[in-house]
């Protein structure tokens, strides 16, 4: 999608440090990390957020979670643990409206909100 930062990363119109890629999913380091490991996992197809999931595109959720496990293994945090976080919409603080999960790890993570 034109003007979508994450679509531009998929299209290599913007630089990123790719940590995982397959035909459906891409993952790259967050530009403003909040932990030693902070990876953004996205579907290559543009979906704004969870509100835009449908019967026909919801398989990306499985793809994203499968990728998350592989990335955690690759980065050596699978055993110690990690958080997968999705912010959906304005009240949740979503700033990039291309569906994404934050994989955060590498430190004892702070207090859980939930
Ligand atoms: P959210 O606030 O959940 O929408 O998360 C958006 C995330 O995307 C933030 O953590 C940003 O630091 C990150 N981000 C924005 N632009 C880029 C970029 N060009 N490359 C990597 N991460 C980015
Ligand atoms: Zn997009």
Tokens 């579907």 — which residue? 43
Distance between CA 86 and CA 5 in Å, rounded?
17
* DSSP code, position 111: -
Number of structural domains (the chain) is: 1
> Does 41 reside within a domain?
yes
> Does 112 reside within a domain?
no
Binding pocket residue ranges, ligand 1, CB within 6 Å:
5, 14, 16, 28, 30-32, 40, 87, 93-96
> Does 113 reside within a domain?
no
* DSSP code, position 104: E
Ligand 2 centre distance from Cα of residue 79 (Å): 31
Distance between CA 83 and CA 49 in Å, rounded?
18
Distance between CA 4 and CA 26 in Å, rounded?
15
pTM check: above 0.75: yes
> Does 99 reside within a domain?
yes
Convert the pLDDT of each residue in 55-66 to its tens digit: 999 999 999 999
CATH of the domain at 11: 3.30.428.10
Which ligand 1 atom lies nearest to the CA of residue 8?
19
Which ligand 1 atom lies nearest to the CA of residue 38?
10
pLDDT at residue 113 in the model: 84
pLDDT, mean of residues 99-114: 94
Ligand 1 centre distance from Cα of residue 76 (Å): 22
Share of the chain above pLDDT 90, in %: 94
Strands of the sheet with 37-43, listed across from one edge: 18-21, 25-29, 37-43, 101-105, 82-85
Nearest CA to ligand 1 atom 15: 31
pLDDT, mean of residues 18-28: 98
Distance between CA 15 and CA 34 in Å, rounded?
20
Q: Is 85 helix (H, G, I), strand (E, B) or coil?
A: strand
Convert the pLDDT of each residue in 84-106 to its tens digit: 999 999 999 999 999 999 999 99
Q: Which domain holds residue 75?
A: 5-105
Distance between CA 47 and CA 59 in Å, rounded?
12
């Amino acid at each position: 999608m034109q003007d979508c930062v994450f679509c531009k990363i998929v299209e290599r119109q913007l630089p990123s440090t790719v940590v995982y890629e397959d035909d459906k999913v891409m993952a790259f380091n967050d530009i403003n990390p909040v932990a030693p490991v902070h990876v953004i996992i996205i579907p290559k197809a543009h979906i704004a957020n969870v509100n835009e999931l449908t019967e026909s595109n919801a398989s990306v959720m499985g793809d994203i979670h499968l990728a998350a496990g592989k990335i955690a293994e690759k980065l050596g945090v699978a055993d110690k643990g990690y958080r997968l976080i999705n912010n959906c919409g304005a009240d949740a603080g979503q700033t990039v409206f291309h569906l994404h999960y934050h994989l955060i790890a590498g430190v004892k993570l702070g207090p859980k909100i939930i």
